[in-house]
Amino acid sequence: MSNTSVRVTPEAGVIDRRLQKAGVQIETAVAFVGCLVILVADAQSLALIPLLSNLEKVYGLTPVQASWALAAPGVVAAGCVPTLARLGDRFGMRRLTLLSLLLAFVANLLCALADGFTVLVIGRGILGMSAALPLSYAILRARGTSERRTTRGVAVITLASGLGVAVAFLLGGFVVSANGSARTVFWALTVLSAIALLAAYWILPDARFRSTDPIDWGGAVGVCLGLVAIVLGITEGNTWGWSSPRVLACLLGGAAVLALWAVYETRQQYPLINIRRVCNRIALPAFFIVAVAGSMAGFTNLAQTTYVQMPKATGYGLGLSVLHSAYALCVISAGVMIGSAVAGPTISRVGPRRVMAVGSLVMAANFVVLASHHGGIWPFLVWDIVWGLAFGFVYSAANAAYLEEATPPEAAMYVSANTVVSAAVSGIAPATFIALLTSRTIPHTPIPDPVVFTHMWIYAAAASVVMAAIALLVRRPRFVPGTLPSPVVDAVNDAEATPA
């Protein structure tokens, strides 16, 4: 049985009336805000990568300090975001989203004005306290009036993720080519954050369900400690050494804490995340597919960027500049946008399972072809468009699956659970990339042997096959519209929680 107690506010607020007057659907407004949020998030995480040396110069950082400045948002987010997303149930999803966007604006402004490491890393850490993206998904589900509209909204946000990657890499590339600095990027991010905040304040509706349950602070502390330890160990693995006591303590200790946290949650009357509820044949496989697909996106971007920027003198690199390699990555973004644009109707028609399984197999075949043919720019461009198309379908289907399976009052809990899984898995990609990149070098040089890139794409193909196998476990979810009254929603909760 579901223990969640909710308060329903059926009356239309100012935002609802504004959208009704303009003839804009609720799902469309939420998806638009989600697009802005993901544009800002991608730019914050990726635009600085081509400017790492400039970041050290402008702010007077050591390489270790620069690494911490880049890693700070991920470490803080691992500890804060799952709890902040869940608190949207209690204090209002719109309110928490606006607070998150305000923190992003303040954080980027601090980074733009920073005069050294301390203020810079504080600003970057504040960025990690934003739960705007998972809360956008939660509002989309909580206010979704039909499966078709909700799935379309998810696909639109996925489309924006492709555009966000392109904007992020192009922003960094243009700043490099125009002799700009990392401070220029922070000013641009400040403006983007302000635009997202103003748009959300004007058109983002709130969920009509508000939890009255007490807050599970014990669960919040447990998931925070476990995820921060794991993310910290993965982030610092190459610096501290993967076999060092500190890294092993972080990884093993974090995993142990999360295991104990899961047991603790099953024994709470009002848990932060209802483990028994989310561990089903729809949500749990979808969580893992979202996490693995997102990790693969970062992994393949790193692999391709490194390969195409290798000087031709190495015997295998393409010698592209930072800006030209960003242009190549834009092809992936175009594929993601095209795939996401047509994914919604396909998912509604055939169900998430088939879309995820077929899309993952297409990814696997694509990686196998790239592993054997990557001698020029054209194989990468063809691979990029196919990879982007498949990613748009798979990522949209996985997010749609777990969101559709949740009832409206459970939206924040489901996105919080998805955030936990994604945070635990996301660090594997860069760690695997570095391990493979340094596993073998050309004799008497520090240059990676070309075979390591072949191995990277073979590993990506294997991960895609695993995703296809996981997708076969997913059943088709049963969508509960966000317009149902509370007694009906409670009845659905009880029916879903009762064993067959």
Longest dimension (CA), the chain: 72
> Residue 6: its pLDDT value, please?
57
Task: Give backbone dihedrals phi and psi of 209, rounded to 5 degrees, phi first.
Answer: -110, 135
Q: Does residue 3 surpass a pLDDT of 60?
A: no
CA torsion, points 240, 246, 249, 255, in degrees to nearest 10?
-40
Tokens 């998931």 -> residue: 223
pLDDT band at 444 (very low <50, low <70, confident <90, very high): confident
User: What pLDDT digit, counting tens, does each position of 314-355 carry?
Assistant: 888 888 877 777 777 788 888 888 998 889 899 999 999 999
pLDDT band at 493 (very low <50, low <70, confident <90, very high): very low
The Cα 74–Cα 387 span in angstroms is 25
> Which of the 8 DSSP states describes residue 12?
-
Q: Which of 389, 393, 385 is nearest to 304 (CA)?
A: 385
pLDDT band at 486 (very low <50, low <70, confident <90, very high): very low
Query: What is the pTM assigned to this prediction?
Result: 0.85
Name all contacts of 179-182 with Cβ < 8 Å and 24+ positions apart.
181/51, 181/54, 181/58, 182/48, 182/51, 182/54, 182/55, 182/58, 182/59
Q: Does residue 464 surpass a pLDDT of 90?
A: yes
User: What pLDDT digit, counting tens, does each position of 165-204 carry?
Assistant: 778 777 777 777 777 788 988 999 999 999 999 999 999 9
pLDDT band at 5 (very low <50, low <70, confident <90, very high): low
User: What pLDDT digit, counting tens, does each position of 359-414 carry?
Assistant: 999 999 999 998 888 878 888 888 889 999 999 999 999 999 999 998 888 888 99
Contact 150, 404 (CB under 8 A): yes
pLDDT band at 2 (very low <50, low <70, confident <90, very high): very low
Integer distance in angstroms from the first to the last C-alpha of the chain?
13
Q: Which residues pair with 441 in a beta bridge?
A: 448
Percentage of the chain modeled with pLDDT above 90: 36
> Residue 497: its pLDDT value, please?
45
How far apart, in Å, are the Cα atoms of 78 and each of 83, 96, 114, 131, 424? Answer: 10, 17, 24, 11, 8
156-168 mean pLDDT: 83
Mean pLDDT of the chain: 85
Detail the DSSP E strand segments found in 370-446: none
